[in-house]
Amino acid sequence: MDTGVKQFVFPSKIGAGTRALEHLPFDLAGFGAIRPLVICTAEMDTRGGLKSLVSAFKGSGLTFGVYGMDGEASLETVREVWGHYHDGGFDAVIAVGGGSLVDVAKCLAVAAEGGPDELRRLFNEGGAVTATSPFAWVPTLGLTGREAAPEACIGVERLHGTALSPKLIAVDPRMLQRPGSPGLAEAGLGALAAALCLYESGEVNRLALPYARLTAQQMMVGLEPLLSPSLDRQSRLSRWVGMGGTREEEVAFVTAMAVSGGLLPEAQKSLTFVLADMLVPLSRCSREVLAAVLLPNVLEFAHRVRGDDLSDMLSALGGLDLLCSTPVPQRTDAALARVRENMNRLWLFSAGNLPRTLAEAGIEREALLGICDAASAMTEGWQSHEVERLLLAAYNGVLPDLKSQPTRATQEVS
């Protein structure tokens, strides 16, 4: 029975800014940890990438060990790191980096709390992870956007559960010195889409919207070097995160990525991400890029055809000053225009490599028609014919046809 009660859980404490690492040992001590194991890449370990972390732990009373991970994540890696953890008498986990390394750290945190048998049971039988050992994450620039999400993936094996989100996140500019991964911009687009897609439906869990607003605002700060019309492409590139950007831009960007991980369970219920997941096998693009391509079309359709009010989204994209200075009837249109403008600027920055339509993403028009029924069945309030019209609009890069169906605001109630 639907009781009408809404819940949204964001279990991570985030510290972002100069010397955020110094807070980490004391926060871990609050969980009773005295000897954490740091999981990082082997390259970071051998090249002195942990110097700032070593400095932060001095005088704290805590000591940590290091496991340098080499290669991709696998169950064999998890078994090996568990042996290192168990034999070394460690009692907490710190992941330094991103991507599959964090997945390994999450699996280790599960085994550290309940033992290897509990991890094996969850892989074999499923069910939600309910407890982990104290688990912290220190981001670098090699991110995918999934690191703070309540999930983990090792090959085909998957885990889920709120407990998989890091208990502590320390975004420190000293750890953001090296260039980011090639997919960092795509991951950022996915994070922005995860935030803004929560505005696409009146059925959204409104308790998540403050986090969506924070994610979008911080992401816009981080993306600003790419979107500035006063700079040529080379100048924008040189200021992009990891390539000489300011510390404030980088910290804002990575903080947004961290918060967006907590939004993914809500975002995955949206039509934007349902369609993006379905289109990945049909496209040459990642889910994050497809979500960014679909998002403006879903929002346009939700407003112009279905009559949804998206005026609150303007505060996420431009702040309260812009919201308050824009007349109420113009706010939704202003927000939609800003979404389109930013997508076009990102396309220009990418020298045309970033698709703006589903056709540019390499998807055949006929393939779109085969997923409409399934997509509408997986999302609340969307009919198959609406999904079809929306996908065709996204394929052609045109606004949805407004003549074939009146908006909610003009429909008569019998």
Alpha-carbon torsion angle 403, 408, 412, 414, nearest 10: 130
* pLDDT, position 347: 74
Q: Which domains does the chain have, with CATH numbers?
A: 13-175 (3.40.50.1970), 184-401 (1.20.1090.10)
Say if CB 41 and CB 138 are below 8 A apart. Answer: no
What the block records as the tokens of 19 is 């010397």
d(CA 259, CA 16) in angstroms, rounded, equals: 11
Specify the residue for token string 């696409």.
200
- What does the DSSP assignment read for 208-258? GHHHHHHHHHHHHHHHHHHH-TTS-HHHHHHHSTTTT--HHHHHHHHHHHH
3-state SS class at 132: coil
Handedness of CA 377, 378, 381, 382 (dihedral sign): negative
Say if CB 38 and CB 96 are below 8 A apart. Answer: yes
3-state SS class at 88: coil
* pLDDT, position 116: 94
d(CA 79, CA 74) in angstroms, rounded, equals: 9
* pLDDT, position 223: 76
What the block records as the tokens of 238 is 């040189």
CA gyration radius, the chain: 22
Say if CB 361 and CB 283 are below 8 A apart. Answer: yes
**Local mean pLDDT, 10-residue blocks, the chain (414 residues):** 70 93 96 96 92 94 94 90 95 95 96 94 92 96 91 92 96 83 80 90 77 90 70 58 63 91 90 94 92 92 86 87 90 90 74 84 91 90 90 84 45 36
Distances 108 to 26, 40, 67, 92, 313 between C-alpha atoms, Å: 22, 13, 12, 9, 39
d(CA 164, CA 104) in angstroms, rounded, equals: 11
d(CA 341, CA 161) in angstroms, rounded, equals: 36
* pLDDT, position 9: 84
